[in-house]
Amino acid sequence: MVDLYEPQDVTKKYPQPPFKPQQQPVPGTIFQMDPPADHGEESYKGSGRLAGRKALITGGDSGIGRAVAIAFGREGADVALNYLPEEQKDAEDTAKYAGDGGAKVELIPGDLADEAFNAELVEKTVAALGGLDLLVMIGGRMPTVSGIEDFDTEVFDNLLKVNVHSLFWLTKAAKRHLKPGASIITTSSIQGFVPSPTLVEYAVTKAGIANWTRAMAQQLAEDGIRVNGVAPGPFWTPLQPSSVPNEKIEEFGAEAAYGRPGQPVELSSTYVYLASQDSSYTSGETIAVTGGTPTH
């Protein structure tokens, strides 16, 4: 177990490439990753920074969403986790850790590409938790496309619905429940600032998320609602073996300044900061967590 709070060489803190070849069908699972990812199961310690808060986290079954769910639960927030129905096993395991400090955890499976489900998701969250003041949008897709010849309109339309449209749908549905002091957090990517050619469709959505965050922060400022985002670099999550070919998996994260991918737990505190009142004068910002690699 890595001690999150003990100073150490960040370049050697977690596994470095080369990694074993591994592929999974979409959407992937944490249980088949080699090496296993660290979501803070054993290492994240809460300090009551989100006590009494009510959070909806999309993509909350695995990867970054799992790490955020564990951190929020241990910081005192009750959480509702959204995920695809086929990710039920991962979600149930996440709920076990997120609730181990006494937080209430509600599991709400469903597809963010369905507009009607987004409104249903918000209402189910409010009913289960008794309110909503943290909307954390992490769930997304990342198809790899080798060239423009392989561009598929149907795939791109679904990508836009999941990664971008859902931000509008969820925020519209949540707005009437959010009171002054509430926080909305989005998830962009280094790809939104420094795009890779084989991830151009994904990069377009992540750039859009960063701009959505800036604009929505201004729109909701008069309501006392903050809107911020996080832009991760390469992180070791099921999104990789389910979306990236083996030749890239083996050297995944080597391009980062640290020479390794990040572990989901290394993002937890950023989301906690943006959800808490510690960031009360911060809105419209996207914090890059990229292992030292510049975003511009």
Q: Which domain holds residue 232?
A: 49-289
Let me know if residue 39 belongs to a domain: no
Output the pLDDT for position 1: 63
Instruction: Indicate which CATH number applies to the domain containing 265.
Output: 3.40.50.720
Let me know if residue 1 belongs to a domain: no
pLDDT at residue 236 is higher than 70: yes
Let me know if residue 186 belongs to a domain: yes
The number of folded domains in the chain is: 1
| pLDDT mean across residues, the chain | 96
263 to 23, 113, 193, 272, 289: CA distances (angstroms): 19, 27, 21, 16, 11
User: What's the whole-model pTM score?
Assistant: 0.96
Could you tell me the pLDDT band of residue 84, with boundaries at 50, 70 and 90? very high
Residue 285 structure tokens: 């910002």
Output the pLDDT for position 16: 95
E strand or H helix that includes residue 159: helix 153-160
pLDDT, average across residues 241-265: 93
Q: Which residues, in sequence order, are bridge partners of residue 57?
A: 81, 136
Could you tell me the pLDDT band of residue 46, with boundaries at 50, 70 and 90? very high
Let me know if residue 295 belongs to a domain: no
What percent of the chain is modeled with pLDDT above 90? 93
| Segment 156-204, tens digit of pLDDT | 999 999 999 999 999 999 999 999 999 999 999 999 999 999 999 999 9
Q: Please, what is the angle between helix 63-74 and helix 265-275, to 10°?
A: 60
Map tokens 């906690």 to a residue.
272
Let me know if residue 30 belongs to a domain: no
pLDDT, average across residues 29-43: 96
Output the pLDDT for position 4: 74
Let me know if residue 182 belongs to a domain: yes
Let me know if residue 71 belongs to a domain: yes
Output the pLDDT for position 2: 74
pLDDT at residue 8 is higher than 90: no
Most confident segment among 67-81, 137-151, 240-254: 67-81
Residue of 14, 83, 97, 202 marked catalytic = 202
pLDDT at residue 119 is higher than 80: yes
Let me know if residue 258 belongs to a domain: yes
> Using an 8 Å Cβ cutoff, are 190 and 290 in contact?
yes
Annotated catalytic residue 273: no
Q: Which residues, in sequence order, are bridge partners of residue 134?
A: 55, 183
